[in-house]
Amino acid sequence: MSKLHGKSVLLGMGIGIILTAVLGIIFFLGYAPEMDEAKVKDLARKYGMIEPHEHPGKLEITISEDDTITGIVKKLEQLGIVKNAVSFQIKIVNRNAKDKILPGTYEFVGNESEDEVIDILTGSTIHNE
């Protein structure tokens, strides 16, 4: 049996590195996730990268009599008024405010606390149009 020569080992390693690089380029060539501005903003809001006070102007939500509490909370979360719909819904139930939310159109600046939002929606704080 012949001994391995240093040149053979280096040549084998070099070929392996080159093949790995070529395969990596082929694999990642053309990979670009489909992202538009709305999708980027949704993901940023989902991961807490957009704070409520970053919204320009006033945020408006309209609540009708047939809206469910889950639907209302989801609207608030989509606008960025509340960060977590589930925890906000639990807070509403704990404050016995579930049946006290009044229909109407409400404006928010975007930096209100969850308690302030509940007060506004239940009419404890006059902020209703």
Domain presence at residue 127:
no
Domain presence at residue 89:
yes
Domain presence at residue 128:
no
Residue 5's domain spans which residues?
Answer: 1-32
Same domain, 20 and 83: no
Same domain, 92 and 48: yes
Domain presence at residue 105:
yes
The per-residue pLDDT for 34 is 79
Number of domains the chain is built from: 2
Q: Please choose, from the candidates 129, 122, 124, 121, the residue with its C-alpha nearest in 3D space to the C-alpha of residue 75.
A: 121
pLDDT band for position 128 (cuts 50, 70, 90): very low
pLDDT band for position 109 (cuts 50, 70, 90): confident
How do residues 51-103 score in pLDDT, each as one tens digit? 655 555 688 999 999 999 999 999 999 988 898 999 999 999 999 988 889 99
Q: Report d(CA 82, CA 73) in Å as an integer.
A: 8
The per-residue pLDDT for 129 is 45
Q: Is 88 exposed, middle or buried (0-12, 13-18, 19+ CB in 10 A)?
A: buried
Same domain, 46 and 79: yes
How do residues 11-51 score in pLDDT, each as one tens digit? 999 999 999 999 888 888 877 777 788 888 888 877 877 66
pTM above 0.85, yes or no: no
